[in-house]
Amino acid sequence: MFGISLIVLVLLLSLMVQSRDLKESLAGYETRAEALSQQLEEEQARTEEIKELKEYMQTDEYAEQAAREKLGLVKDNEIIFQEAN
């Protein structure tokens, strides 16, 4: 009877240790899942910004802005003022 009680006690202790380890692992996985969820939201927001920028880059307004900045082009009725050095 004592031997059986000892075996049951050892089994219960081992189950408690395994249960504690599983709870710690679960907490770690939950933390990682939250971090990945946050990262997913950030990437979706970034994807949306890129999509909006892509749509803007296909407009005439963007083409005009790029021509002004990179090529120095101006409209026919514009006057350019330069600072004297």
pLDDT of residue 46: 97
pLDDT of residue 30: 96
Question: pTM for the complete prediction?
Answer: 0.57
Domain presence at residue 31: yes
pLDDT of residue 73: 81
* Contact status, residue 53 vs residue 47, Cβ threshold 8 Å: no
Task: Count structural domains, the chain.
Answer: 1
Domain presence at residue 32: yes
pLDDT mean by block of 10 residues, the chain; 85 residues: 93 96 96 97 97 95 89 80 79
Domain presence at residue 85: no
pLDDT of residue 78: 80
CA dist., res. 16 & res. 22, Å (int): 10
17-28: string of b/e by CB count within 10 Å (b at 16+)? eeeeeeeeeeee
Domain presence at residue 53: yes
Domain extent for 63 = 24-72
